[in-house]
Structure 1
């Protein structure tokens, strides 16, 4: 899951940088690179998902719920611990994706030793059809994954995967084990943490995985089946039913993702971009909000680089290898017991040499009883050989997929570093341009200041000259008056 986080942070950073880089370049950056970028691994479909907060106007957007469900703030209880209750939630929008992945977080709790029925995931042609099969319709058309906590044979929680074309009826008592395409037994009842169920469909391959305590980080493969054809246009759903004794069946989240979505080659316009183009303007610079986004994205990238990015996938791979080896060891132990039953020495006696040669001669004596055992031994050896080959092929496939993802991430990081370098150069050029503009403004201000000081000097000199002319006129007038007064006397 951390791979998805790296790609999400990289996408956020590239979107934040695009406003600065694309604003000054007229050439499409995709064409300028000379190659097409890789498509994202998955795309979240919010219309085919629901999680906390679930409700809008007391309804789940794009979903319909019915039956005896109880709506809480942090979960939806499909059926409470009351006998003969059932509930369901179905999407109102058909699935348009050819390759998809659904991840469901749920909890099943009860006070009794054994479970009281269970819940089921649906991908069916018709939606919102209540019925007797885990609270949904019998004779459905599509895929169903049953999480049966009241298995009458094992009395343990079991997972069964079934396909129905609308003709098979299980409510009448038909044995579902004869029609399953795969089963597994992974405990999910009365656990402290939620259990995660992942249903993936890609390239006609259906994969069912479960995580019963690691928060969706350590999935164990339950069923993998190739050659499955699931059409688009069907509906997702989840339902549950409680018998006697009864359990609480809580849904915490239901998230759908499109696998390998198509690549978008056209980039949407920025706000007011068309208006600016009509006025002949061009977007330049980075505002403070974009700078904060870039700093946050860089911080997240540094944080992710310092963690173990593939811890989750490595754990899943090791769990698959462990399960395969455990089954091979069980087959070998059965084979050893059968050989010892024919008279062969046990491993301790074989190592120490403490065995009777005459007993070994019986092993090669052909008779009717030994012939059947030998046939059984040959069949078991062949099964072990086939199982080992499958394990080796699966391990090689997982290794190739992990190497491919590593290459994709390294390429994305290289492109991201290139983008950051271009952004730094762009920011430095703009800073130099701003300094140049400020220097020109300062020079212009100095010239204006010098012109103003000269103008003030001229005004001052004019006032001084006017003052002197005034004094001279006053003295002239006074002397003239005094002369006239003397003449008159």
Structure 2
């Protein structure tokens, strides 16, 4: 079983070779050249603070004070229908710290979701992966879907809507966690630290949605940081090509044909 799953991961990495730079950050040594902007992404926050942009990470919620919200959303929509998203994050805090982290793929996410968590988002159209202490086992990862018809904020039992989950103790690991979402063919998978978390053939997300990351801290806060988000596409679909200047068309030489003079008619 483990052998075949490793083959599956190798197949995924073989297919996902082309980086979509407009929807990625962290692929280079520095995610920002000036610590003020994240190229291709919009940064926003609530609670009186905006996420802090460092050279190698974004601090979505600070260690102090609590009850903060932060978000980053890709400006570009995803034009491809098959992709692999790689996300690195870290959560640190005191023994009883709390909060949640979300990875979104949502239609009009910057406006319909903004800085919301899964619990406060209301109506949205898309997918969200939630990382929080739910379940009392040190933390977990759960997947949720909405077609825009459900008000998650006021739903009587929103936790019951999860289509998949796995236990994952994500707090105070001393290193970033590495999460991957893969949508290729009929497969939709969530992989955490090279271990399968969720796998289903019942989900197929459409193109033209935005990727986004949101975090919310509790009164005793966890600090959520993101180091990297990279979006890849496979060989089987059109990828972004660098724009190259058009080469000037060489002027074609004119060809003159000498014709004999008209002969007088007899």
TM-score band, normalised by shorter chain? 0.7 to 0.9
* Cα displacement (A) at 1:124: 0.3
1:181 paired residue among 156, 163, 168: 163
* Cα displacement (A) at 1:173: 6.0
Q: What residue in structure 2 maps to residue 250 of structure 1?
A: 225
> Within 5 Å, which residues of 2 pair with 1:31-430?
41-51=16-26, 52-55=29-32, 58-67=36-45, 68-81=50-63, 82-112=65-95, 114-129=96-111, 130-133=114-117, 137-149=121-133, 151=134, 153-154=135-136, 156-172=138-154, 174-211=156-193, 219-262=194-237
Describe the superposition over 1:341-361 as per-residue Cα deviations: whole angstroms up to 9, x where unpaired: xxxxxxxxxxxxxxxxxxxxx
* Cα displacement (A) at 1:226: 0.5
Return closer, same or farther for 1:80/1:174 CA change in 2, 3 Å cut-off.
farther
Which whole-Å CA distance do the structure 1 matches of 2:227 and 2:54 have between them? Answer: 10
Describe the superposition over 1:152-186 as per-residue Cα deviations: whole angstroms up to 9, x where unpaired: x4152111100011222333363233211101002
Tell me if the contact between 2:16 and 2:232 (Cα under 8 Å) persists in the aligned partners. Answer: no
* Cα displacement (A) at 1:84: 1.0
Structure 2: 5+ residue stretches without partners: 1-5, 254-266
* Cα displacement (A) at 1:62: 1.4
Return closer, same or farther for 1:205/1:110 CA change in 2, 3 Å cut-off.
same
Which SS does the other structure have where 1:59 is aligned?
A: coil
* Cα displacement (A) at 1:272: 7.3
Describe the superposition over 1:389-438 as per-residue Cα deviations: whole angstroms up to 9, x where unpaired: xxxxxxxxxxxxxxxxxxxxxxxxxxxxxxxxxxxxxxxxxxxxxxxxxx
Which whole-Å CA distance do the structure 2 matches of 1:273 and 1:119 have between them? Answer: 51
Answer with 1 or 2: which has the greater Rg: 1
Return closer, same or farther for 1:262/1:201 CA change in 2, 3 Å cut-off.
closer
Which whole-Å CA distance do the structure 2 matches of 1:88 and 1:176 have between them? Answer: 21
Higher strand proportion (structure 1 or 2): 2
Q: What residue in structure 1 maps to residue 257 of structure 2?
A: none
| TM-score normalized by the length of structure 1 | 0.43
Return closer, same or farther for 1:107/1:224 CA change in 2, 3 Å cut-off.
same
Which whole-Å CA distance do the structure 2 matches of 1:269 and 1:125 have between them? Answer: 31
Which SS does the other structure have where 2:159 is aligned?
A: helix
Which whole-Å CA distance do the structure 2 matches of 1:115 and 1:200 have between them? Answer: 31
Which whole-Å CA distance do the structure 2 matches of 1:237 and 1:274 have between them? Answer: 43
Return closer, same or farther for 1:270/1:185 CA change in 2, 3 Å cut-off.
same
Q: Which has the higher contact order (CA 8 A, sep 6+)?
A: 2
**RMSD after superposition:** 3.1
Return closer, same or farther for 1:95/1:148 CA change in 2, 3 Å cut-off.
same
* Cα displacement (A) at 1:270: 11
Higher helix proportion (structure 1 or 2): 1
* Cα displacement (A) at 1:231: 0.9
Tell me if the contact between 1:101 and 1:258 (Cα under 8 Å) persists in the aligned partners. Answer: yes
Which SS does the other structure have where 2:153 is aligned?
A: coil
Tell me if the contact between 1:134 and 1:240 (Cα under 8 Å) persists in the aligned partners. Answer: no
Which whole-Å CA distance do the structure 2 matches of 1:255 and 1:187 have between them? Answer: 23
The alignment covers a number of residue pairs equal to 230
Which whole-Å CA distance do the structure 2 matches of 1:132 and 1:255 have between them? Answer: 22
Tell me if the contact between 1:106 and 1:249 (Cα under 8 Å) persists in the aligned partners. Answer: yes
Tell me if the contact between 1:71 and 1:77 (Cα under 8 Å) persists in the aligned partners. Answer: yes
Which whole-Å CA distance do the structure 1 matches of 2:15 and 2:221 have between them? Answer: 43
Structure 1: 5+ residue stretches without partners: 5-38, 212-218, 280-489
Which whole-Å CA distance do the structure 2 matches of 1:270 and 1:78 have between them? Answer: 39
Which whole-Å CA distance do the structure 2 matches of 1:174 and 1:134 have between them? Answer: 13
Return closer, same or farther for 1:63/1:132 CA change in 2, 3 Å cut-off.
closer
